[in-house]
Amino acid sequence: MRLGHISLSHFNSTSFRKIDQIIVLLLLNSRKPSGRYCTSLDTIRAYTILVDMYTRKRAVGHLDADCFYVSAERVRDPFLKGKPVGVLGNQGACVIAKSYEMKAAGVKTGEPIWDAVQKCPDGIYVKRDFRWYETLSRSMLEVMRRLSGHVEYYSIDEFFFVAEPGPGQSFQDLAVAMRQTILEELDLPVTVGIARSRTLAKLISDSAKPFGAKAVLEKEHEEHLLARLPVTEISGVAKRRAKRLLPWGIASCLDLAKADRGLVRKLLTATGEALWWELNGEPTGEIHSARPRHKALSRGGSLGESTADPHRLYAWLVRNLERLIEELRYHRVMPGKLTLWVGYRDGIPGEGQTRLAVPTDRFDLLLEALRPCLRRAWRPKHPANRMHLIAEDLTDRDTAQGGLFSPHDPRAEALADVKQRINERIGRFAVRSGATLPLKSIYDDGANGYDICDVRGKICF
């Protein structure tokens, strides 16, 4: 047994009595090549290695690409470097990402293109291309996995990782090395933060942007940083939660870290208590090297141009359902519950929900179940601008039990299989429902053929 190859993850207790027990087991089960048992000198060496593993500082890192969509466009077109660039989404209607140069001109994320052009007339505006962004994202993931043994693919441009400095390397050295490696190999600027927990690591990387590299593991330095950050900088604490905290004198991240834990739990539930632990340097969750099983799957988003036309709204429902079925079949699951949410321009949403008698991924059965949901979610004469279709209560396709009276239609199932094979071979949406004909312009625009939610394997949407 080679002690130098024992990982810290093999141990759950930090007690030295446990170390003693491990060493006894190692010595009883380890012999030298000569056949005799290890000596007291070997015991000392083993003890030194294990103590070092228990007392070594552990840290979590967060790597975030700077202006990722813009940076990705600059990788394939260097002409864009140093110029104000905006990436357009939602059928080209608004700016979903912008360069720092465009930000300096006053353009905001989510701003309509016509307003952005007024603020930044010299800007260069390009259509989104999530297939290209995914290619670079997965290249970053490959590099990250080379640099750390445990990497979480959190989002298309964010990664959490276990920070493991090499011999003679500090955590700060590691942060700088990671940043430089990504830049040199992929030409992508990124910012790296390293801290005692993932929440602290993200706060540090956010504060170090752009193109920063910062490791903060001393409590005094942590508190200095937290004192100048408003509590809304924490992922999971938006304006509504911040408003709930303010009467108790909790306005900054440091205020939250120093608040009574019971009070935080009372105000923000168990989720808030977990954030409290994280702010105090105690990790509450593991780094997921592989994505956990989905609890729900969804498809939807902006409708682009608002519409009050029921036929067009129905076409969007069918489009989102076909996209959802793609995902259901990929993950080999079937839903038992469906929710249809429709957002309207006046801010008042509509919603319809249904439970399926038997889990299924058949298009005809799911559409039949969703028609009443659309009727409940539809608000006549009110322009709709967003739609989301959510599948829950997921059951494994291979083990799902059919009901006594569940319809079994071999022809419909064979048709679904043929449709899937054709689309996989010829191109996505080559075969689709005729109900989507009102959305011809959407399908004709290649930028709408692949979206952020189509990038699989990441933890966050």
CB 208 within 8 A of CB 193: yes
CB 215 within 8 A of CB 57: no
Q: How far is CA 120 from the centre of its chain?
A: 31
Distance between CA atoms of residues 367 and 217, nearest Å? 53
Distance between CA atoms of residues 112 and 114, nearest Å? 6
Contacts of 162 (CB under 8 A, 6+ apart): 58, 59, 60, 61, 148, 149, 150, 151, 287
In the chain, count of helices (H) and strands (E)?
16, 14
Two tokens, residue 232: 């809304």
Q: Which helix (H) or strand (E) holds 309?
A: none
CB 295 within 8 A of CB 393: no
Query: Is 142 part of the annotated catalytic residue set?
Result: no
Closest CA relative to residue 129, chosen from 77, 181, 187, 84: 77
CB 148 within 8 A of CB 165: no
- Which residue in 73, 152, 158, 278 is the catalytic one? 158
Which residue numbers are catalytic?
Answer: 158
